[in-house]
Structure 1
């Protein structure tokens, strides 16, 4: 009977250890090391479009690759920025636009603000906010 109890105890301990390892691997896959940096992203032939852009760098945490959902969110953030760039390129001759990234209520808010020169040559204020329904577990700078 003692051997049976020891076997059950050993199996339970092994189950707890394997569950802990699996949970850690799952956590690491959804929390890779991500850094989001906002910097100048001048575009245009003569640098007439001055538009800040988010730069995302990420790496594995403890050798565990990021989950597909996390990579999809990073791609979504970049695609939303590309949409803004295309919109500005089609609507304005030149611009000087800054980007602020805020995290609020489990949402990522990309706020573009500054001045732009429309197709008629008139300087206008530009203010646009994109709300993304996710938050990257990242260092923002």
Structure 2
């Protein structure tokens, strides 16, 4: 009986989430009618690798041996900045504070961060690689994450 009730609650929530909440339209008042974006959809579209990289960073096994503690900390902070800015972008778009072109620009920046995360993780997983190259990738990631709200990627 409890399992059936739990399944009913979960099923109702999923139906609400998928069919009613997602895809609501917002009229920005200037002829700009847009579908609201769910943070999960944004993450899937623009930051697909972030969760895996975040887990790898939390484990710190591969990276800890190759980076100094300051770099590792800065990389972790960069991930956190990216997560917070991602929330800001979605909320801003959904409230019409961010235009479609700016949203696309931010999406491109998140994809570039995602690409750097893949390179760092792949590079760190290979034995006997050039530590200067890894440090440069990390530096690029940190710089890009710190400049997310700026005008140039």
**Which TM-score applies when normalising by structure 1?**
0.36
Higher strand fraction: Structure 1 or Structure 2?
Answer: 1
**Which TM-score applies when normalising by structure 2?**
0.34
Higher helix fraction: Structure 1 or Structure 2?
Answer: 2
Q: Which has the larger radius of gyration?
A: 1
Higher relative contact order (CA 8 A, sep 6+): 2
